[in-house]
A = this chain, B = another copy of it.
Amino acid sequence: MIELRHLRYAVTVADEGHMTRAAERLGIQQPPLSQQIAKLEAIVGASLFKRLPRGVELTEAGRTFVERARTILHDVDLAIEATRRNARGEEGSLAIGFTSSAAFHPLLSSAVRSLGETSPDVALKLEEASTPDLIAMLHSGLLDVALVRSPVAQSGGLVISRILDEEMLVALPDRHPLAMPKGEKPRRIQLSELANEAFILYRRPSGPGLYDSIIAACLAAGFSPKIRHEAPRLLSTLSLVAAGLGISIIPGSIARLETNGIAYLRLDPGANLVAPLYLARKDEQPSGALQLFADIVQHEKASMKHQP
């Protein structure tokens, strides 16, 4: 059976035109090289070299063979290198999913940007979907990784890592009595102060999310929130708040998107309400690109923590 060793030997003998010198280059003695070339000629079923009194010369069939052998050896090197690059996350593909509430977190955008800069040959696919859809896509292999807001059901076979907790803010119409006039020192509001407010919450029709966390926190504060409106899209909640139809509680990263007509109040730490961000992936060895992305996410998170 032909091996790459045979190709390396034939190419080197052809280059040297001299078996003894070729053997030296190859780090073996001349008799085994002579034998291996003879074996190769038997495998191929053709004479590749003319044995001359002083050295050897390729036959025409030998020229045909050595030319292709050279290309094959080069392709082998390329195959190894491409595989290594892929394993290092320098090339390949990565399908990243996220919920709408995770979409606006700067960590996602900075990590994606950083990955793009670090590994321009990695093909990225971004997918926004609900948490259950994201989980299903992870299981089916349509996604490699997903950023979600809650630890999820059907997480068997997945690794769900809590990346960070994001502060939740109270969004209320800027003319709301609780809204601080400009110039006044901002204070942290107690959740219980919202007991009589009309709530506008964003709720996905399927599966859990921040919605349930907010409900749970209100109950813990001693009241059942009056949910007057449920918006089908996250940004719709802010529009309704701006229109004066009620208040909402949203992750801090979203606050930056819409400030017109809306005032944002921070909650008292006792409210114990945060918007966690989870990174979910399959519980198996990750691809190079996925490993790199996870590393970048950790790195970007650490960078954000130390910003003023």
Contacts and interface: CB of A to CB of B under 8 A. Distances in A.
Contacts of A4: 1-4
Contacts of A91: 64
A193 interface: no
A290 to B, nearest CB: 8
A69 interface: yes
Interface string A71-95: 1100110111011101100011100
Mostly helix, strand, loop or mixed at chain A's interface? helix
A170 B71 CA distance: 60
Contact of A48 (B61, B68, B83, B93): B83
Given A50-B285, A59-B285, A75-B75, 16 more contacts: A2-B4, A43-B80, A46-B288, A48-B83, A59-B287, A60-B287, A60-B288, A61-B86, A61-B87, A61-B288, A64-B82, A65-B80, A65-B83, A68-B78, A68-B79, A71-B75
Interface of A: 1-5, 43-48, 50, 59-62, 64-65, 68-69, 71-72, 75-76, 78-80, 82-84, 86-87, 91-93, 284-285, 287-289
